């Protein structure tokens, strides 16, 4: 007789998959066993084909809510060669590590309704217990060290189950059956509160005490799920300014956590899609427009019309809000700018010395650091700004690309991303596992975190070797250096990928397209000609790309300092025009903008000389630099203290304009390449300013001419190539006004406008694009 | 393939040229077990009896020939004397070969040789041999000076670049970026009305005083590629991790201002009168005191330490920005900030 060996890949561990199967099989009266095998599930059935097929049909229907089946394979094996229980039953047996499949453990999810009920029920033994979780909710990725996903491979292993928990854990009919992170007050993690001198504060309820301190205006560092938050009140400028000073973040907007949707609606405008995202089990931060009733301190998100909001996701947060009447708290990652969030208790106490007033810590180790995810809707379409907690490590399924033979399923690829908003991607068996947010790899600790996170991802995906390592083309990115090191270590090819090509490939994949024309508008991406691109019209079929049009190449006197101080960019751009030459330009700058130059008149002169001598001058077609220049021309923003600051403030400044000013885009050609003349845009803007037009309207017109100019170039390109899909990618497309204007023009010309849906418009998805392209190149 | 400017810029491209086209083609590269060409140190050593002779050579081209704080004569003498000195050897003599353009002003040549003489006198060094060639107008730019330096030290006392050990302190003997920044702004005519001038000077005085304390483990003159390049070379050759404190590194205010305006990192531009040292931690303060007594060492400072025995990374810590990796500079900076 034959027996059926059924292998299930997907999100099948740590989600109550085995008990579900147990229940189905018992109801059908079948015999056999089930076990976790490496990172997949193996079901053995001692039954014939009909019964096996019935079982599979029911399984697909009745699988647990948060599980996901990517594939089910059935092999028929000779009975004599297989172990199975002799007593005519179905059993769940010990896990085995010996198979390497392509499944993955689920991400960390918000508390479920059942658990929420328990922590609110004063008669329940988990009443107000902040680490309550079950098979349907809570921590997963952040606590796992290896697969199979069993408690002994997580940091919950530090907490042996008490009798009551053990009983739940071993009862297949309980919802905590094999809930690997289950615990209770008796056996699980606990909280401790410390003051800034690292002394423990004696209190029976550290959380309640901490909230009281918060409401007195203190800054609290609180260790949570994937990292640590710095928390303070939202309506009081004083603690916020204190926090800004201590973190050296003078302007960067802080995100807030609110108790529930109703409350969030009191200070923001929430669309139905946004509400759905806020309430989703992934609980990302959603960028929302401030409402008319918004009354938080100005210093919270200065000069912006929107604010990042998330709702409570862990029991810890729910209980925190039980102790206060505040509508929301600032919840910002506890890290030195660009460095990883702190996750170790000792580190939190020592490295945040002088930043937090109090520290609320728990004793559960965080294995995989995971920042809050951030999303923004533009034109009612979701894009990730950061895809991390709640989503990582769920892979992208590349089946479409495999079917069309764009990429080869059997390749293992590691792609390391760009530099500042780095994620990495591990591609294996047709699945692309994009890592959690890693950060700015220019910082040493982040660079180390990257390497550690790669190691952990290799563990949980059981990946030993790579066929290729992909990286950015930028010769100085640390990720490029690391790619070379790893290429040597794994004895495989290193494939540098052009930055915007990677952006475009993700966009194509995200929309299941084989090819498209796309606008890549962002801050910086190293181009094949050695200059810095970022306002490009390109074509890609994933495997290859063509650069077909762009913004005018502009000089960046001093390289990156022109990004930090955009007035240098403005000077450089205006110096190209016939209108503003020599002394005229100098006097314009010194009478209106000299305070934006660190060294005033001397610098105005030296920038001009630098432009002429080409000493340390970069060349860029970046859209970000044009938006920065418009912002500084309008006196909106003179220094970039956080990524995207000037263009974000420009968008907010222009928000609500009626749109009655218009700047006509002008085009020319350089070496046969169509160019949107950005010098003319700035000249026109300066004219409107000197004519004393309304500045809000000028800002709106400036954004619009950039969007339409790019859109016109894209439409021209697409019609010449006979392609109907025009995409938009790059960080600039987080800007809603720009996205809407581009979409409007593209659609009015009869083309299909393609946006990111389930990926980042910005650099968070660049590693994914690199991976797709690399695997198509060595296909 | 042809030689490009980057082949002389001190970066990766130049490294490749040196190892593939130069080192690989030479067979005998050291004498009597001394430090040879392969070490790519500041100079070579030739053991003889109880002593070692130190030899080094350098070609000098500079535009312009006369600049604030110095001229090609001074830099040609100091450059070679300093390469001998940072091996830990007392410089004894240099040789001087000059290739001069037809039509060059003899008056200028006179000034250049006088300046060379004055510089040698400071370190008590003789000019013991020389050569003079003239080339046609369009074959050469003004003049090229090649100097060879000779020094001496006790056997086994040479100080390599590669001697850094865990715990060693890193000392710089004065403010960084002066030569490169002043030359650049002078040459390009930025006209920053300043007292900005090159630091070109012989460093033997400082080195001699520091050597007497006895704690020096590694030493290098941070010329081309500046502090960043020198500390990276020492770190890589020593196979350690170094952490520098940004705030401790002396930079003149004028240099900082020019750096702000041109976007050029003062740590990446050349110095011609500074020494970068690794010193055993218990003797660091004493060594610093000794250096500070020299007229060129008044601004000396401890700027960091060796924090690990692995990795070959130079990290730099800023008060508010955490730690970043201080990379070896490449020829042209490419924007990387979004
Ligand atoms: Fe980008
Ligand atoms: Mg040297
Ligand atoms: Zn639950
Ligand atoms: Zn328990």
Q: Tens of pLDDT along B241-250? A: 999 999 999 9
CATH 3.90.650.10 fits B169-325, yes or no: yes
Given CB atoms, is A598 within the 8 Å cutoff of chain B?
yes
Beta-carbon separation of B188 and A609 below 8 A: yes
Q: What phi and psi, each to the nearest 5 degrees, are found at residue A240?
A: -65, -45
Mutate to test the interface with B, among A339, A479, A606, A648 (most CBs of B within 10 A): A606
* CB contact set of A560 (below 8 Å; sequence gap of 6+): B263, B333, B335, B336, B337
Class in CATH terms, B31-154? alpha beta
H-state helical runs in A216-339 = 237-247, 261-267, 272-279, 315-322
Beta-carbon separation of A558 and B188 below 8 A: no
Dist. CA A261–CA A268, nearest whole Å: 10
- Common-topology check for domains A374-511+762-777 and A532-539+548-754: yes
Given CB atoms, is A564 within the 8 Å cutoff of chain B?
yes
Assess: ipTM above 0.90.
Answer: yes
Dist. CA A599–CA A605, nearest whole Å: 10
Beta-carbon separation of A442 and B325 below 8 A: yes
Dist. CA B207–CA B274, nearest whole Å: 10
Secondary structure E strands in chain B: 44-48, 51-60, 66-67, 70-71, 90-101, 126-135, 143-154, 169-172, 216-220, 241-245, 276-279, 301-308, 314-318, 322-325
What's B21's DSSP letter? I
Residue from the list B315, B323, B335 with its beta carbon closest to the beta carbon of A563: B335
- Cα end-to-end distance, chain B, whole Å: 34
Interface of A with B in 223-242 (CB under 8 A): none
- Cα end-to-end distance, chain A, whole Å: 42
Which is the CATH superfamily of the domain at A532-539+548-754? ATPase, nucleotide binding domain (3.30.420.40)
Beta-carbon separation of B322 and A443 below 8 A: yes
Class in CATH terms, A2-92? alpha beta
pLDDT at position A90? 85
Neighboring chain A residues of B235 at a CB cutoff of 8 Å: none
Which helix (H) or strand (E) covers residue A415, if one does? strand A413-415
pLDDT at position B194? 66
The CATH 3.90.650.10 portion of chain B extends over 169-325
Neighboring chain B residues of A559 at a CB cutoff of 8 Å: 263, 333-335
Nearest CA in chain A to B263: A558
Question: Ligand 2 centre from B224 Cα, in Å?
Answer: 8
pLDDT at position A390? 96
Q: Which fold has domain A104-188?
A: DHBP synthase (3.90.870)
Q: Kindly give the interhelix angle for B178-187 and B253-262, rounded to the nearest 10 degrees.
A: 50
Beta-carbon separation of A532 and B334 below 8 A: yes
The CATH number given to A374-511+762-777 is 3.30.420.360
Beta-carbon separation of B336 and A522 below 8 A: no
What pLDDT, in 10s, does the model give residues B163-180? 999 999 999 999 999 999
**Backbone dihedral region for residue A48 (phi beyond 0: left; psi -120 to 50: alpha; all else: beta):** beta
Specify the higher pLDDT residue, A779 or B124.
B124
pLDDT at position B59? 95
Mutate to test the interface with B, among A243, A555, A558, A646 (most CBs of B within 10 A): A558
∠ CA A605-A606-A611 to the nearest 5 degrees?
A: 105
Question: Ligand 2 centre from B230 Cα, in Å?
Answer: 9
Whether the predicted pLDDT of B91 surpasses 60? yes
Mean pLDDT of the B106-116 span? 98
Dist. CA A767–CA A764, nearest whole Å: 7
Residue from the list A337, A557, A602 with its beta carbon closest to the beta carbon of B321: A337
Neighboring chain B residues of A606 at a CB cutoff of 8 Å: 190, 192, 261-262
Residues of chain A with pLDDT under 70: 80-87, 97-103
The CATH 3.30.1330.10 portion of chain B extends over 31-154
Q: Which long-range contacts (CB under 8 A, 24 or more apart) does A199-207 make?
A: A201/A358, A206/A360, A207/A130, A207/A316, A207/A319, A207/A320, A207/A323, A207/A360
Given CB atoms, is A603 within the 8 Å cutoff of chain B?
yes
Q: What is the mean pLDDT of chain B?
A: 94
Question: Ligand 1 centre from A348 Cα, in Å?
Answer: 32
Neighboring chain B residues of A339 at a CB cutoff of 8 Å: 322-323
The rounded percent of chain B whose pLDDT value lies above 90 is: 84
* CB contact set of A276 (below 8 Å; sequence gap of 6+): none
Neighboring chain A residues of B310 at a CB cutoff of 8 Å: none
Neighboring chain A residues of B4 at a CB cutoff of 8 Å: none
What's A248's DSSP letter? T
Exposure b/e, A235-258, CB count within 10 A at least 16 = b:
ebeebbebbbebbebebbbbbbbb
Mean pLDDT of the B308-330 span? 87
H-state helical runs in A268-335 = 272-279, 315-322
Given CB atoms, is A614 within the 8 Å cutoff of chain B?
no
Dist. CA A579–CA A111, nearest whole Å: 62
What pLDDT, in 10s, does the model give residues B57-71? 999 999 999 999 999
Q: Are B256 and A599 in contact (CB under 8 A)?
A: no
Domain ranges within chain A, ordered by starting residue: 2-92, 104-188, 191-362, 374-511+762-777, 532-539+548-754
Q: Which fold has domain A191-362?
A: DHBP synthase (3.90.870)
pLDDT at position A509? 97
Q: Are A699 and A710 in contact (CB under 8 A)?
A: no
Nearest CA in chain A to B325: A444
CB atoms within 10 A of CB B57: 17
Reduce the DSSP state of residue B81 to 3 states and report it.
helix
Question: What would the DSSP string read from start to end of A675-731?
Answer: EE-HHHHHHHHHHHHHTT--HHHHHHHHHHHHHHHHHHHHHHHHHHHT--EEEEESG
Token duo for residue A245: 């000073």
Nearest CA in chain A to B241: A444
Token duo for residue B167: 């715990």
């Amino acid at each position: 007789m034959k027996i059926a060996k059924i292998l299930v890949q997907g999100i099948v561990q740590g989600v109550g998959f085995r008990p579900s199967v147990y229940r189905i099989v018992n109801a059908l009266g079948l015999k056999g066993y089930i076990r976790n095998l490496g990172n997949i599930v193996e079901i053995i059935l001692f039954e014939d084909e009909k019964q096996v097929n019935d079982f599979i049909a029911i399984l697909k229907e009745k699988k647990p809510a948060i599980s996901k089946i990517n594939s089910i394979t059935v092999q028929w094996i000779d009975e004599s060669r297989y172990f199975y229980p002799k007593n005519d039953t179905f059993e769940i047996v010990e896990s085995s590590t010996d198979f390497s499949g392509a499944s993955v453990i689920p991400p960390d999810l918000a508390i479920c309704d059942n658990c929420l009920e328990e922590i609110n029920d004063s008669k329940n033994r988990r009443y107000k217990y902040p680490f309550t979780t079950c098979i349907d909710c809570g921590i997963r990725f952040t606590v796992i060290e290896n697969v199979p996903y069993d408690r002994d491979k997580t940091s919950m292993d530090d907490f042996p189950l008490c009798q009551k928990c053990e009983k739940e854990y071993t009862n297949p009919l309980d919802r905590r059956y094999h809930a690997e992170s289950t615990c209770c007050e008796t056996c699980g993690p606990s909280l401790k509160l410390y003051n800034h001198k690292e002394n423990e504060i004696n209190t029976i309820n550290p959380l309640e005490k901490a909230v009281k301190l918060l409401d007195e205006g203190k800054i609290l560092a609180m260790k949570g799920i994937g990292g640590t938050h710095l928390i303070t009140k939202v309506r009081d400028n004083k603690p916020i300014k204190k926090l800004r000073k201590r973190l050296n973040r003078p302007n960067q907007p802080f995100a807030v956590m609110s108790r529930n949707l109703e409350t969030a609606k009191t200070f923001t405008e929430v669309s139905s899609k946004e509400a759905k995202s806020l309430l989703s089990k992934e609980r990302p931060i959603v960028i929302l427009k401030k409402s008319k009733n918004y009354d938080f301190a100005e210093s919270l998100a200065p000069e912006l019309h929107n604010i990042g909001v998330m709702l409570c996701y862990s029991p810890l947060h729910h209980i925190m809000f039980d102790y206060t009447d505040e509508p929301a708290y600032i919840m910002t990652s506890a890290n030195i700018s660009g460095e990883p969030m702190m996750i170790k208790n000792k580190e939190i106490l020592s490295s945040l010395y002088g930043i937090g007033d109090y520290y609320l810590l728990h004793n559960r180790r965080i294995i995989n650091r995971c920042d809050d995810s951030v999303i923004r809707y533009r034109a009612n379409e979701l894009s990730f700004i950061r895809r991390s907690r709640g989503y990582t490590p769920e892979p992208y399924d590349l089946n479409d690309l495999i079917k069309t033979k764009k990429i080869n399923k059997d390749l293992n690829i590691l792609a390391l991303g760009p530099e500042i908003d780095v994620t990495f991607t591990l591609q294996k068996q047709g699945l692309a596992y994009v890592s959690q947010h890693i950060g700015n790899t220019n910082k040493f600790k982040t660079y180390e975190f990257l390497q550690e996170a790669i190691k952990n991802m290799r563990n949980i995906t059981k990946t030993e070797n790579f066929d290729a390592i992909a990286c950015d083309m930028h010769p100085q990115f640390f990720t490029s250096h690391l790619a070379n090191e790893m290429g040597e270590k794994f004895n495989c090819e290193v494939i540098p990928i052009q930055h915007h090509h990677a952006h475009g490939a993700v966009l194509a994949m995200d929309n299941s397209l084989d090819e498209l024309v796309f606008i890549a508008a962002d801050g910086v991406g190293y181009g094949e000609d050695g200059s810095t691109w970022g306002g490009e019209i390109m074509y890609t079929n994933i495997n290859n790309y063509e650069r077909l049009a762009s913004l005018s190449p502009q000089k960046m006197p001093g390289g990156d300092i022109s990004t930090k101080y955009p007035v240098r960019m403005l000077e450089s751009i205006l110096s190209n025009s016939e209108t503003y030459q020599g002394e005229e330009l100098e006097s314009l700058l010194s009478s209106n903008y000299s305070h934006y130059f660190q060294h005033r008149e001397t610098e105005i002169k030296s920038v001009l000389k630098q432009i002429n001598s080409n000493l340390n001058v970069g060349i860029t077609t970046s859209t970000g630099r044009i938006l920065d220049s418009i912002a500084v021309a309008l006196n909106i923003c003179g220094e970039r203290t956080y990524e995207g600051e000037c263009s974000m403030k420009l968008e907010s400044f222009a928000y609500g304009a009626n749109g009655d000013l218009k700047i006509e885009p002008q085009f020319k050609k350089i070496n046969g390449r169509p160019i949107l003349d950005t010098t003319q845009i700035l000249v026109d803007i300066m004219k409107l300013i000197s004519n004393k037009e309304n500045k809000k309207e000028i800002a709106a017109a400036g954004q619009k001419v950039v969007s339409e100019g790019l859109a016109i170039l894209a439409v021209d390109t697409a019609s010449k190539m006979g392609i109907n899909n025009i995409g938009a990618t790059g960080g600039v497309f987080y800007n809603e006004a720009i996205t809407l204007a581009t979409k409007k023009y593209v659609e009015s010309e009869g083309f299909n406008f393609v946006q990111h849906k389930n990926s980042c418009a910005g650099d968070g998805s660049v590693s994914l694009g690199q991976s797709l392209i690399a695997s198509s190149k060595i296909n | 393939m042809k030689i490009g400017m980057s082949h002389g810029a001190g970066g990766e491209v130049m490294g490749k040229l040196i190892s593939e086209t130069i080192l690989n083609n030479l067979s005998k590269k050291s004498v009597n077990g001394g430090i040879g060409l392969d070490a790519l140190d500041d100079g070579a050593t030739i053991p003889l009896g109880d002593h070692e002779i130190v030899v080094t050579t350098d070609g000098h081209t500079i535009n312009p020939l006369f600049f604030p704080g110095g001229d090609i004569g001074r830099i040609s003498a100091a450059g070679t004397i300093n390469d001998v000195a940072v091996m830990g050897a007392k410089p004894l003599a240099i040789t001087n070969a000059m290739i001069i353009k037809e039509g060059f002003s003899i008056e200028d040549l006179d000034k250049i040789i006088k300046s060379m003489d004055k510089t040698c006198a400071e370190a008590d060094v003789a000019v013991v041999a020389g050569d003079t060639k003239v080339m046609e107008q369009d074959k050469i730019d003004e003049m090229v000076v090649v100097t060879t330096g000779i020094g001496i030290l006790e056997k086994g006392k040479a100080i390599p670049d590669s001697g850094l050990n865990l715990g060693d302190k890193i000392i710089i003997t004065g403010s960084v970026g002066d030569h490169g920044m002043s030359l650049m702004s002078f040459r390009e005519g930025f006209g920053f009305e300043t007292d900005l001038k090159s630091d070109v000077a012989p460093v033997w005085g400082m080195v001699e005083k520091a050597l007497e304390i006895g704690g020096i483990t590694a030493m290098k003159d941070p010329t081309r590629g500046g502090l960043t390049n020198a500390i990276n070379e020492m770190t890589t050759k020593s196979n350690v991790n170094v952490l520098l404190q940004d705030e401790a590194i002396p930079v003149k205010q004028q240099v900082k201002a020019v750096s702000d305006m041109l976007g050029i990192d003062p740590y990446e531009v050349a110095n011609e009168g500074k020494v970068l040292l690794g010193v055993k931690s218990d003797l660091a303060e004493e060594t610093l005191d000794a250096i500070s007594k020299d007229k060129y060492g008044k601004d000396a400072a401890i700027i960091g330490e060796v924090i690990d025995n692995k990795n070959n990374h130079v990290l730099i810590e800023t008060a508010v920005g955490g730690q970043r990796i201080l990379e070896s500079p490449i020829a042209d900076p490419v924007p990387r900030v979004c």
